[in-house]
Chain A
Amino acid sequence: MALTIRGVTRTFPGQGRAVPTLALQPTDLDVAPGEFVSILGPSGCGKSTLLRIVAGLDRPTGGSVSLDGRVVTGPGPERGMVFQSYTLFPWLTVRQNIEFGLRERKLPEAEIREISEKFIGRTGLRGFENHWPRQLSGGMQQRTALARALANDPAVLLLDEPFGALDHQTRELMQELLLEVWAADSESARKTVLFVTHDIDEAIFLANRVLVMSARPGRVKAELPVPLPYPRDWTVKTTPVFAELKARLMAEIREEVRKAALA
Protein backbone atom coordinates (compact mmCIF):
# COMPACT_ATOMS: atom_id res chain seq x y z
CA MET A 1 0.00 0.00 0.00
CA ALA A 2 1.40 3.41 -0.99
CA LEU A 3 1.55 6.12 1.64
CA THR A 4 1.38 9.79 0.71
CA ILE A 5 1.93 12.61 3.17
CA ARG A 6 1.24 16.10 1.89
CA GLY A 7 1.97 19.26 3.84
CA VAL A 8 1.17 17.68 7.19
CA THR A 9 1.65 20.04 10.12
CA ARG A 10 0.78 19.75 13.76
CA THR A 11 0.45 22.52 16.31
CA PHE A 12 -0.41 21.68 19.89
CA PRO A 13 -2.63 24.31 21.46
CA GLY A 14 -1.11 26.01 24.50
CA GLN A 15 -2.62 25.20 27.86
CA GLY A 16 -4.10 28.33 29.37
CA ARG A 17 -1.97 31.28 28.32
CA ALA A 18 0.95 29.22 27.06
CA VAL A 19 1.96 29.77 23.44
CA PRO A 20 0.90 27.02 21.02
CA THR A 21 3.74 24.64 20.14
CA LEU A 22 4.55 23.90 16.54
CA ALA A 23 5.60 20.25 16.63
CA LEU A 24 5.72 19.50 12.94
CA GLN A 25 6.49 21.80 10.02
CA PRO A 26 4.79 21.10 6.69
CA THR A 27 6.00 17.64 5.79
CA ASP A 28 5.81 15.79 2.49
CA LEU A 29 6.65 12.13 2.15
CA ASP A 30 5.97 9.36 -0.32
CA VAL A 31 6.47 5.76 0.66
CA ALA A 32 6.17 3.09 -2.02
CA PRO A 33 4.33 -0.18 -1.36
CA GLY A 34 6.61 -2.64 0.42
CA GLU A 35 9.18 -0.01 1.30
CA PHE A 36 10.84 0.03 4.73
CA VAL A 37 11.49 3.62 5.86
CA SER A 38 13.24 4.62 9.08
CA ILE A 39 12.55 8.02 10.56
CA LEU A 40 15.50 9.16 12.62
CA GLY A 41 15.54 12.21 14.85
CA PRO A 42 16.35 13.62 18.26
CA SER A 43 13.71 13.20 20.93
CA GLY A 44 10.93 15.74 20.74
CA CYS A 45 11.42 16.32 17.01
CA GLY A 46 7.88 15.34 16.11
CA LYS A 47 8.66 11.93 14.59
CA SER A 48 6.21 10.15 16.86
CA THR A 49 3.65 12.86 16.17
CA LEU A 50 4.00 12.19 12.45
CA LEU A 51 3.58 8.45 13.02
CA ARG A 52 0.49 8.97 15.20
CA ILE A 53 -1.04 11.12 12.47
CA VAL A 54 -0.42 8.38 9.91
CA ALA A 55 -2.00 5.91 12.36
CA GLY A 56 -5.06 8.14 12.64
CA LEU A 57 -4.61 8.52 16.40
CA ASP A 58 -3.92 12.23 16.02
CA ARG A 59 -5.29 14.76 13.55
CA PRO A 60 -2.95 17.00 11.57
CA THR A 61 -3.46 20.75 11.97
CA GLY A 62 -2.93 21.05 8.22
CA GLY A 63 -2.26 18.82 5.25
CA SER A 64 -3.33 15.25 4.72
CA VAL A 65 -2.24 11.63 4.81
CA SER A 66 -3.55 9.19 2.25
CA LEU A 67 -3.19 5.50 1.61
CA ASP A 68 -3.51 4.45 -2.02
CA GLY A 69 -5.23 7.79 -2.59
CA ARG A 70 -7.72 7.49 0.26
CA VAL A 71 -7.42 10.18 2.93
CA VAL A 72 -6.87 8.94 6.47
CA THR A 73 -9.40 10.21 9.02
CA GLY A 74 -8.92 7.69 11.81
CA PRO A 75 -7.39 4.33 12.63
CA GLY A 76 -8.15 1.51 10.21
CA PRO A 77 -7.52 -2.21 9.82
CA GLU A 78 -5.01 -1.66 6.99
CA ARG A 79 -2.62 -0.08 9.52
CA GLY A 80 -1.03 -1.84 12.48
CA MET A 81 1.08 -0.23 15.15
CA VAL A 82 3.58 -1.22 17.81
CA PHE A 83 4.38 1.22 20.60
CA GLN A 84 7.45 1.63 22.74
CA SER A 85 5.72 0.94 26.02
CA TYR A 86 4.44 -2.58 26.44
CA THR A 87 0.80 -2.06 25.69
CA LEU A 88 -0.41 -5.60 26.10
CA PHE A 89 -3.65 -6.28 27.90
CA PRO A 90 -2.54 -7.56 31.30
CA TRP A 91 -5.56 -9.85 31.82
CA LEU A 92 -5.08 -11.68 28.51
CA THR A 93 -2.49 -14.37 27.83
CA VAL A 94 0.05 -14.02 25.03
CA ARG A 95 -2.20 -15.94 22.67
CA GLN A 96 -5.32 -13.99 23.65
CA ASN A 97 -3.45 -10.72 23.15
CA ILE A 98 -2.43 -11.78 19.67
CA GLU A 99 -5.99 -12.86 18.92
CA PHE A 100 -7.62 -9.68 20.27
CA GLY A 101 -7.89 -7.80 16.97
CA LEU A 102 -8.99 -10.94 15.13
CA ARG A 103 -11.79 -11.46 17.65
CA GLU A 104 -12.85 -7.84 17.08
CA ARG A 105 -13.14 -8.64 13.41
CA LYS A 106 -15.27 -11.68 14.26
CA LEU A 107 -13.27 -14.17 12.23
CA PRO A 108 -14.18 -17.84 12.62
CA GLU A 109 -12.53 -19.44 15.66
CA ALA A 110 -10.51 -21.93 13.61
CA GLU A 111 -9.04 -19.18 11.45
CA ILE A 112 -8.19 -17.07 14.52
CA ARG A 113 -6.31 -20.01 16.00
CA GLU A 114 -4.49 -20.72 12.75
CA ILE A 115 -3.30 -17.11 12.43
CA SER A 116 -2.18 -16.81 16.05
CA GLU A 117 -0.30 -20.10 15.74
CA LYS A 118 1.51 -18.81 12.67
CA PHE A 119 2.73 -15.64 14.36
CA ILE A 120 3.53 -17.33 17.65
CA GLY A 121 5.88 -19.46 15.58
CA ARG A 122 7.32 -16.63 13.50
CA THR A 123 8.03 -14.34 16.44
CA GLY A 124 9.60 -17.06 18.57
CA LEU A 125 6.89 -17.16 21.21
CA ARG A 126 6.39 -20.91 21.09
CA GLY A 127 6.15 -22.24 24.62
CA PHE A 128 4.97 -18.85 25.95
CA GLU A 129 1.48 -18.83 24.41
CA ASN A 130 -0.25 -19.25 27.73
CA HIS A 131 1.91 -16.90 29.78
CA TRP A 132 0.59 -13.64 31.15
CA PRO A 133 2.33 -10.43 30.01
CA ARG A 134 3.69 -9.76 33.51
CA GLN A 135 5.53 -13.10 33.40
CA LEU A 136 7.46 -12.05 30.28
CA SER A 137 10.70 -10.12 29.79
CA GLY A 138 10.58 -6.83 27.88
CA GLY A 139 11.79 -8.53 24.72
CA MET A 140 9.12 -11.24 24.88
CA GLN A 141 6.45 -8.62 25.53
CA GLN A 142 7.50 -6.73 22.41
CA ARG A 143 7.48 -9.96 20.42
CA THR A 144 3.89 -10.36 21.52
CA ALA A 145 3.08 -6.77 20.57
CA LEU A 146 4.66 -7.34 17.15
CA ALA A 147 2.78 -10.60 16.67
CA ARG A 148 -0.45 -8.87 17.66
CA ALA A 149 0.09 -6.14 15.07
CA LEU A 150 1.07 -8.67 12.36
CA ALA A 151 -1.84 -11.00 13.09
CA ASN A 152 -4.26 -8.37 11.77
CA ASP A 153 -2.30 -8.49 8.50
CA PRO A 154 -2.07 -4.73 7.98
CA ALA A 155 -0.63 -3.48 4.69
CA VAL A 156 1.13 -0.71 6.60
CA LEU A 157 3.08 -1.32 9.77
CA LEU A 158 3.86 1.66 12.02
CA LEU A 159 6.54 1.14 14.63
CA ASP A 160 7.15 3.81 17.26
CA GLU A 161 10.52 3.04 18.84
CA PRO A 162 9.32 -0.49 19.49
CA PHE A 163 12.68 -1.65 20.83
CA GLY A 164 13.52 1.59 22.63
CA ALA A 165 13.11 0.16 26.11
CA LEU A 166 15.10 -3.03 25.48
CA ASP A 167 18.72 -3.73 26.35
CA HIS A 168 21.26 -3.63 23.53
CA GLN A 169 21.55 -7.35 22.88
CA THR A 170 17.82 -7.98 22.94
CA ARG A 171 17.32 -5.00 20.68
CA GLU A 172 19.67 -6.43 18.05
CA LEU A 173 17.92 -9.78 18.17
CA MET A 174 14.57 -8.06 17.74
CA GLN A 175 15.83 -6.09 14.74
CA GLU A 176 16.84 -9.30 13.01
CA LEU A 177 13.54 -10.88 13.94
CA LEU A 178 11.60 -7.94 12.51
CA LEU A 179 13.49 -8.09 9.20
CA GLU A 180 13.00 -11.84 9.04
CA VAL A 181 9.26 -11.52 9.55
CA TRP A 182 8.98 -8.61 7.12
CA ALA A 183 11.00 -10.42 4.43
CA ALA A 184 9.02 -13.62 4.92
CA ASP A 185 6.41 -12.21 2.54
CA SER A 186 7.27 -12.25 -1.14
CA GLU A 187 8.64 -8.93 -2.39
CA SER A 188 5.35 -7.86 -3.96
CA ALA A 189 3.34 -8.69 -0.81
CA ARG A 190 5.65 -6.98 1.67
CA LYS A 191 4.28 -4.57 4.20
CA THR A 192 4.99 -0.88 3.96
CA VAL A 193 6.85 0.01 7.14
CA LEU A 194 7.47 3.29 8.93
CA PHE A 195 9.94 2.79 11.74
CA VAL A 196 10.59 5.65 14.17
CA THR A 197 13.82 5.52 16.16
CA HIS A 198 16.63 7.64 17.54
CA ASP A 199 19.15 4.81 17.10
CA ILE A 200 21.29 5.33 13.97
CA ASP A 201 22.44 1.69 13.65
CA GLU A 202 18.89 0.48 13.98
CA ALA A 203 17.65 2.93 11.34
CA ILE A 204 20.25 1.85 8.78
CA PHE A 205 20.12 -1.86 9.53
CA LEU A 206 16.38 -2.11 8.94
CA ALA A 207 15.47 0.32 6.20
CA ASN A 208 15.60 0.86 2.45
CA ARG A 209 15.70 4.56 3.19
CA VAL A 210 16.48 6.68 6.24
CA LEU A 211 14.86 10.07 6.84
CA VAL A 212 16.46 12.48 9.25
CA MET A 213 14.20 14.90 11.05
CA SER A 214 15.30 18.25 12.40
CA ALA A 215 14.96 19.39 15.98
CA ARG A 216 11.58 20.81 16.95
CA PRO A 217 9.71 22.07 15.07
CA GLY A 218 10.33 18.94 13.06
CA ARG A 219 10.75 18.64 9.34
CA VAL A 220 12.49 16.11 7.11
CA LYS A 221 15.94 17.62 6.60
CA ALA A 222 17.80 14.78 4.92
CA GLU A 223 17.11 11.53 3.17
CA LEU A 224 19.54 8.65 2.57
CA PRO A 225 18.88 5.49 0.59
CA VAL A 226 20.43 2.37 2.10
CA PRO A 227 21.99 0.36 -0.76
CA LEU A 228 22.30 -2.87 1.20
CA PRO A 229 20.49 -5.91 -0.17
CA TYR A 230 18.09 -8.02 1.90
CA PRO A 231 18.25 -10.46 3.59
CA ARG A 232 20.52 -8.68 6.04
CA ASP A 233 22.02 -10.07 9.19
CA TRP A 234 24.18 -8.48 11.86
CA THR A 235 27.31 -8.77 9.71
CA VAL A 236 26.18 -5.87 7.48
CA LYS A 237 26.83 -3.62 10.48
CA THR A 238 30.54 -4.26 9.97
CA THR A 239 30.63 -3.37 6.25
CA PRO A 240 32.21 -0.16 4.87
CA VAL A 241 28.92 0.89 3.26
CA PHE A 242 27.24 0.73 6.64
CA ALA A 243 30.05 2.66 8.30
CA GLU A 244 29.91 5.40 5.69
CA LEU A 245 26.13 5.79 6.02
CA LYS A 246 26.49 5.87 9.77
CA ALA A 247 29.11 8.61 9.61
CA ARG A 248 26.90 10.77 7.42
CA LEU A 249 23.85 10.25 9.60
CA MET A 250 25.80 10.93 12.77
CA ALA A 251 26.89 14.28 11.35
CA GLU A 252 23.30 15.17 10.47
CA ILE A 253 21.93 14.06 13.83
CA ARG A 254 24.63 15.67 15.97
CA GLU A 255 23.78 19.03 14.51
CA GLU A 256 20.11 18.58 15.41
CA VAL A 257 20.78 17.25 18.88
CA ARG A 258 22.98 20.25 19.55
CA LYS A 259 20.23 22.58 18.36
CA ALA A 260 17.69 20.80 20.51
CA ALA A 261 19.97 21.04 23.54
CA LEU A 262 20.43 24.77 23.04
CA ALA A 263 16.76 25.47 22.39
Chain B
Amino acid sequence: MGLILGGDAELWQVILLSLRVSGTAAAVAFVVGLPLAALLVMSNFRGRDLLLLLSNAALGLPPVVVGLVCYLLLSRSGLLGGLGWLFRPAGMVLAQTLLALPIVVALSSRALAPFWAEYRDVLLIDGAGFRQSLLELARMARPPLLTVFLAAFGRAIAEVGAILIVGGNIRGETRTMTTAIALETQKGDLPLALALGGLLLLMCLGVSTVTLLLDRRA
Protein backbone atom coordinates (compact mmCIF):
# COMPACT_ATOMS: atom_id res chain seq x y z
CA MET B 1 0.00 0.00 0.00
CA GLY B 2 2.79 2.34 0.84
CA LEU B 3 4.12 1.79 -2.63
CA ILE B 4 0.85 2.92 -4.17
CA LEU B 5 0.16 5.87 -1.91
CA GLY B 6 3.76 6.96 -2.10
CA GLY B 7 3.46 7.59 -5.81
CA ASP B 8 6.39 5.37 -6.63
CA ALA B 9 7.99 6.26 -9.95
CA GLU B 10 7.75 2.74 -11.29
CA LEU B 11 4.06 2.55 -10.50
CA TRP B 12 3.44 5.83 -12.28
CA GLN B 13 5.22 4.48 -15.31
CA VAL B 14 2.94 1.42 -15.32
CA ILE B 15 -0.18 3.56 -14.99
CA LEU B 16 0.85 5.96 -17.73
CA LEU B 17 1.81 3.17 -20.10
CA SER B 18 -1.57 1.50 -19.56
CA LEU B 19 -3.40 4.72 -20.31
CA ARG B 20 -1.21 5.53 -23.27
CA VAL B 21 -1.42 2.13 -24.93
CA SER B 22 -5.14 1.57 -24.37
CA GLY B 23 -6.05 5.20 -25.09
CA THR B 24 -4.15 5.14 -28.37
CA ALA B 25 -5.66 1.78 -29.29
CA ALA B 26 -9.20 3.01 -28.58
CA ALA B 27 -8.59 6.24 -30.52
CA VAL B 28 -7.13 4.45 -33.55
CA ALA B 29 -9.94 1.88 -33.49
CA PHE B 30 -12.44 4.73 -33.35
CA VAL B 31 -10.91 6.71 -36.21
CA VAL B 32 -10.72 3.61 -38.40
CA GLY B 33 -13.91 1.94 -37.23
CA LEU B 34 -16.33 4.88 -37.41
CA PRO B 35 -16.00 5.42 -41.19
CA LEU B 36 -16.23 1.65 -41.67
CA ALA B 37 -19.44 1.60 -39.65
CA ALA B 38 -20.78 4.55 -41.65
CA LEU B 39 -19.94 2.77 -44.89
CA LEU B 40 -21.82 -0.30 -43.69
CA VAL B 41 -24.81 1.79 -42.72
CA MET B 42 -24.90 4.09 -45.75
CA SER B 43 -24.16 1.73 -48.57
CA ASN B 44 -26.00 -1.27 -49.81
CA PHE B 45 -23.30 -3.41 -51.35
CA ARG B 46 -23.21 -7.15 -51.52
CA GLY B 47 -21.54 -8.69 -48.49
CA ARG B 48 -22.66 -5.88 -46.22
CA ASP B 49 -24.66 -8.21 -43.99
CA LEU B 50 -21.71 -10.59 -43.86
CA LEU B 51 -19.42 -7.79 -42.68
CA LEU B 52 -21.93 -6.77 -40.02
CA LEU B 53 -22.19 -10.36 -38.88
CA LEU B 54 -18.40 -10.66 -38.72
CA SER B 55 -17.98 -7.47 -36.72
CA ASN B 56 -20.65 -8.64 -34.30
CA ALA B 57 -19.08 -12.08 -33.99
CA ALA B 58 -15.70 -10.45 -33.39
CA LEU B 59 -17.09 -8.79 -30.26
CA GLY B 60 -16.15 -12.04 -28.56
CA LEU B 61 -12.64 -12.18 -30.01
CA PRO B 62 -10.41 -13.82 -27.35
CA PRO B 63 -7.51 -11.48 -26.47
CA VAL B 64 -4.96 -14.31 -26.27
CA VAL B 65 -5.78 -15.37 -29.80
CA VAL B 66 -5.38 -11.80 -31.07
CA GLY B 67 -2.16 -11.60 -29.09
CA LEU B 68 -0.91 -14.81 -30.66
CA VAL B 69 -1.74 -13.64 -34.19
CA CYS B 70 -0.05 -10.29 -33.57
CA TYR B 71 2.93 -12.10 -32.10
CA LEU B 72 3.28 -14.17 -35.26
CA LEU B 73 2.84 -11.09 -37.46
CA LEU B 74 5.36 -9.04 -35.52
CA SER B 75 7.97 -11.73 -34.88
CA ARG B 76 11.14 -11.35 -36.84
CA SER B 77 10.07 -13.72 -39.63
CA GLY B 78 6.49 -12.43 -39.58
CA LEU B 79 4.78 -10.24 -42.15
CA LEU B 80 5.27 -7.11 -40.04
CA GLY B 81 8.52 -8.26 -38.46
CA GLY B 82 10.41 -5.41 -40.07
CA LEU B 83 8.62 -2.87 -37.90
CA GLY B 84 10.38 -4.08 -34.77
CA TRP B 85 7.20 -3.68 -32.72
CA LEU B 86 7.38 -6.95 -30.82
CA PHE B 87 7.83 -6.40 -27.07
CA ARG B 88 7.34 -2.68 -27.69
CA PRO B 89 4.33 -0.52 -26.79
CA ALA B 90 3.58 -0.07 -30.52
CA GLY B 91 2.90 -3.79 -30.84
CA MET B 92 0.60 -3.66 -27.82
CA VAL B 93 -1.31 -0.79 -29.41
CA LEU B 94 -1.74 -2.85 -32.56
CA ALA B 95 -3.10 -5.83 -30.64
CA GLN B 96 -5.54 -3.77 -28.59
CA THR B 97 -6.66 -1.83 -31.65
CA LEU B 98 -7.63 -5.09 -33.32
CA LEU B 99 -9.56 -6.04 -30.17
CA ALA B 100 -11.38 -2.72 -29.96
CA LEU B 101 -12.13 -2.37 -33.68
CA PRO B 102 -15.08 -4.80 -33.81
CA ILE B 103 -16.67 -3.02 -30.86
CA VAL B 104 -16.40 0.31 -32.64
CA VAL B 105 -17.75 -1.03 -35.94
CA ALA B 106 -20.61 -3.07 -34.48
CA LEU B 107 -21.80 -0.49 -31.96
CA SER B 108 -21.24 2.60 -34.13
CA SER B 109 -23.28 1.15 -36.95
CA ARG B 110 -26.10 0.66 -34.46
CA ALA B 111 -25.72 4.24 -33.27
CA LEU B 112 -25.64 5.74 -36.78
CA ALA B 113 -28.36 3.64 -38.43
CA PRO B 114 -31.46 5.41 -37.06
CA PHE B 115 -30.07 8.83 -37.98
CA TRP B 116 -29.22 7.64 -41.46
CA ALA B 117 -32.74 6.29 -41.85
CA GLU B 118 -34.15 9.67 -40.87
CA TYR B 119 -31.77 12.00 -42.70
CA ARG B 120 -30.72 9.91 -45.72
CA ASP B 121 -33.08 11.67 -48.14
CA VAL B 122 -32.23 15.18 -47.00
CA LEU B 123 -28.49 14.56 -47.07
CA LEU B 124 -28.69 13.06 -50.56
CA ILE B 125 -30.90 15.86 -51.89
CA ASP B 126 -28.58 18.48 -50.43
CA GLY B 127 -25.69 16.80 -52.17
CA ALA B 128 -23.75 15.82 -49.06
CA GLY B 129 -20.95 13.39 -49.91
CA PHE B 130 -19.75 10.52 -47.77
CA ARG B 131 -17.45 12.65 -45.63
CA GLN B 132 -20.04 15.31 -44.92
CA SER B 133 -22.77 12.76 -44.26
CA LEU B 134 -20.51 10.90 -41.85
CA LEU B 135 -19.74 14.14 -40.06
CA GLU B 136 -23.41 15.09 -39.74
CA LEU B 137 -24.44 11.63 -38.59
CA ALA B 138 -21.64 11.53 -36.02
CA ARG B 139 -22.72 14.92 -34.76
CA MET B 140 -26.25 13.70 -34.19
CA ALA B 141 -25.14 10.39 -32.70
CA ARG B 142 -22.55 11.94 -30.41
CA PRO B 143 -23.88 10.63 -27.08
CA PRO B 144 -24.06 6.98 -28.15
CA LEU B 145 -20.74 7.30 -29.99
CA LEU B 146 -19.14 8.49 -26.79
CA THR B 147 -20.31 5.31 -25.13
CA VAL B 148 -18.84 3.38 -28.05
CA PHE B 149 -15.48 5.03 -27.43
CA LEU B 150 -15.62 4.20 -23.73
CA ALA B 151 -16.57 0.61 -24.50
CA ALA B 152 -13.60 0.37 -26.88
CA PHE B 153 -11.29 1.87 -24.26
CA GLY B 154 -12.74 -0.47 -21.63
CA ARG B 155 -12.10 -3.49 -23.80
CA ALA B 156 -8.48 -2.38 -24.28
CA ILE B 157 -7.60 -1.37 -20.72
CA ALA B 158 -9.21 -4.45 -19.22
CA GLU B 159 -7.53 -7.11 -21.31
CA VAL B 160 -4.33 -8.86 -20.35
CA GLY B 161 -3.98 -11.78 -22.75
CA ALA B 162 -2.96 -9.87 -25.87
CA ILE B 163 -0.47 -7.42 -24.36
CA LEU B 164 1.08 -10.12 -22.24
CA ILE B 165 2.00 -12.07 -25.35
CA VAL B 166 2.90 -9.14 -27.59
CA GLY B 167 4.44 -6.90 -24.94
CA GLY B 168 6.06 -9.53 -22.76
CA ASN B 169 5.43 -7.72 -19.43
CA ILE B 170 8.95 -6.29 -19.37
CA ARG B 171 9.56 -4.24 -16.26
CA GLY B 172 10.00 -0.57 -17.09
CA GLU B 173 9.18 -1.15 -20.75
CA THR B 174 5.94 -2.95 -21.45
CA ARG B 175 4.50 -3.62 -18.01
CA THR B 176 0.92 -2.38 -17.66
CA MET B 177 -1.64 -2.48 -14.88
CA THR B 178 -3.22 -5.74 -16.00
CA THR B 179 0.04 -7.55 -16.68
CA ALA B 180 1.38 -6.33 -13.33
CA ILE B 181 -1.71 -7.63 -11.55
CA ALA B 182 -1.36 -11.00 -13.25
CA LEU B 183 2.30 -11.14 -12.24
CA GLU B 184 1.74 -10.12 -8.59
CA THR B 185 -1.08 -12.64 -8.25
CA GLN B 186 1.19 -15.39 -9.52
CA LYS B 187 3.96 -14.29 -7.16
CA GLY B 188 1.47 -14.52 -4.30
CA ASP B 189 1.51 -10.82 -3.43
CA LEU B 190 -2.27 -10.66 -3.25
CA PRO B 191 -2.49 -7.35 -1.32
CA LEU B 192 -0.45 -5.61 -3.99
CA ALA B 193 -2.46 -7.26 -6.78
CA LEU B 194 -5.68 -6.17 -5.12
CA ALA B 195 -4.43 -2.64 -4.64
CA LEU B 196 -3.42 -2.45 -8.29
CA GLY B 197 -6.84 -3.80 -9.26
CA GLY B 198 -8.54 -1.08 -7.25
CA LEU B 199 -6.37 1.51 -8.88
CA LEU B 200 -7.26 0.17 -12.34
CA LEU B 201 -10.95 0.55 -11.51
CA LEU B 202 -10.32 4.13 -10.43
CA MET B 203 -8.52 4.83 -13.70
CA CYS B 204 -11.52 3.59 -15.69
CA LEU B 205 -13.79 5.76 -13.59
CA GLY B 206 -11.50 8.71 -14.21
CA VAL B 207 -11.47 8.24 -17.99
CA SER B 208 -15.28 7.93 -18.12
CA THR B 209 -15.72 11.03 -15.99
CA VAL B 210 -13.35 13.13 -18.06
CA THR B 211 -14.92 12.00 -21.34
CA LEU B 212 -18.46 12.69 -20.20
CA LEU B 213 -17.47 16.07 -18.76
CA LEU B 214 -15.81 17.03 -22.04
CA ASP B 215 -18.99 16.07 -23.84
CA ARG B 216 -21.16 18.15 -21.57
CA ARG B 217 -18.98 21.19 -22.04
CA ALA B 218 -18.99 20.88 -25.84
Chain A residues with a Cβ under 8 A of chain B: 52, 55-57, 74-75, 77, 79-81, 83, 87, 89-91, 100-101, 104-105, 148-149, 152
**A91 to chain B: which residues have CB within 8 Å?**
139-140
Which residues on B sit within 8 Å (CB–CB) of A80?
125
| Interface residues of B, count at CB 8 A | 15
Question: Could you say which residues of chain A place their CB within 8 Å of the CB of B128?
Answer: 100, 104
* Cβ contacts under 8 Å, A57 to chain B: 120-121, 124-125
| Nearest opposing residue in chain A for B132, CB measure | A104
Out of B118, B119, B125, name the residue touching A55 (CB < 8 Å): B125
Q: Given A83-B122, A87-B121, A104-B132, check contact A75 B139 (CB 8 Å).
A: no
Judging by beta carbons under 8 Å apart, are A87 and B127 in contact? no
- Which residue on chain A has the smallest CB distance to residue B127? A104
Highest count of chain A CB atoms <10 Å: which of B118, B122, B126 = B126
Cα A198 to Cα B132 in complex, Å, equals 35
**Contacting residues, chain A, for B119 (C-beta < 8 A):** 87, 89
How far in angstroms is the closest Cβ of chain B from A263? 27
Question: How many Å from the CB of B145 to the closest CB on chain A?
Answer: 14
27 A-B Cβ contacts within 8 A?
A52-B121, A55-B121, A55-B125, A57-B124, A75-B124, A75-B127, A77-B127, A79-B125, A80-B125, A83-B121, A87-B118, A87-B121, A87-B122, A89-B119, A89-B136, A90-B140, A91-B139, A100-B128, A101-B127, A104-B126, A104-B127, A104-B128, A104-B129, A148-B126, A149-B125, A152-B126, A152-B127
Q: Which residues of B contact A (CB under 8 A)?
A: 118-122, 124-129, 132, 136, 139-140
CA distance A52 to B136 in the complex (A): 22
Docked-complex contact A105 and B127, CB < 8 angstroms: yes
**CB-defined contacts of A87 to chain B, threshold 8 Å:** 118-119, 121-122
Alpha-carbon gap, A74 to B120, bound state (A): 13
CB neighbours of B126 from chain A (8 A): 100-101, 104, 148, 152
B121 interface neighbour in A81, A89, A100, A152, Cβ under 8 Å:
A81
Closest 10 CB pairs of A and B: A101-B126, A87-B122, A75-B124, A81-B125, A104-B127, A57-B121, A75-B125, A100-B126, A104-B128, A77-B127
Q: In the complex, how many angstroms separate the beta carbon of B146 from the nearest chain A beta carbon? A: 16
Interface of A is mostly: loop
Q: How many contacts A-B (CB < 8 Å)?
A: 43
Taking CB atoms, residues of chain B closer than 8 Å to A104 are: 126-129, 132
Chain A's closest residue to B121 (CB) is A57
Give Cα distance in the complex from A87 to B116, angstroms. 12
A153 to B: closest C-beta gap in Å? 12
A91, chain B: closest CB distance, angstroms: 6
The residue in chain A whose Cβ has the minimal distance to the Cβ of B128 is: A104
Residues of A within 8 A of B124 (CB): 56-57, 74-75
Min CB distance B56 to A, Å, is: 21
With both chains docked as a complex, state the minimum distance between the C-beta of A151 and any C-beta of chain B, in angstroms. 10
Min Cβ gap B104→A in Å is 23
Shortest B115–chain A CB gap in Å is 11
Which residues of the other chain, A, contact B121 by a CB distance below 8 angstroms? 52, 55, 57, 81, 83, 87
Tell me which of B118, B122, B132, B136 has the highest count of chain A C-beta atoms within 10 A of its own C-beta. B122
Contacts of A79 in B (CB 8 A): 125
The interface residues of chain B lying within 8 Å CB-to-CB of A77 are 127
CA distance A52 to B124 in the complex (A): 12
The complex places the Cα of A105 from the Cα of B118 at a distance, in Å, of 23
Query: Which residue of chain B is the closest to A149 with respect to CB atoms?
Result: B125
Residue on B with the closest CB to A154? B125
Which residues of A are found within 8 Å of B120, using beta-carbon distances? 57
**Nearest chain A CB to B117's CB is how many angstroms away?**
12
Chain A min CB distance to B196 (Å): 43
Question: Smallest distance from the beta carbon of A61 to chain B beta carbons, Å?
Answer: 16
Q: Which residue of A lies closest to B126 (CB)?
A: A101
When C-beta atoms are compared, the residue in chain A nearest to B119 turns out to be: A87
Distance in angstroms from B5 CB to nearest chain A CB is 46
Question: How many Å lie between the Cα of A83 and that of B119 in the bound state?
Answer: 11
User: How far, in whole Å, are A149 and B127 apart by their CA atoms in the complex?
Assistant: 11
Q: Which of B121, B132, B140 has the most CB of A within 10 A?
A: B121
**What CA separation (Å) do A104 and B125 show in the bound complex?**
11
Given contacts A57-B120, A100-B128, A104-B128, 12 further A-B contacts (CB under 8 A): A52-B121, A55-B125, A57-B124, A74-B124, A75-B124, A81-B121, A87-B121, A89-B122, A101-B126, A104-B126, A104-B127, A149-B125
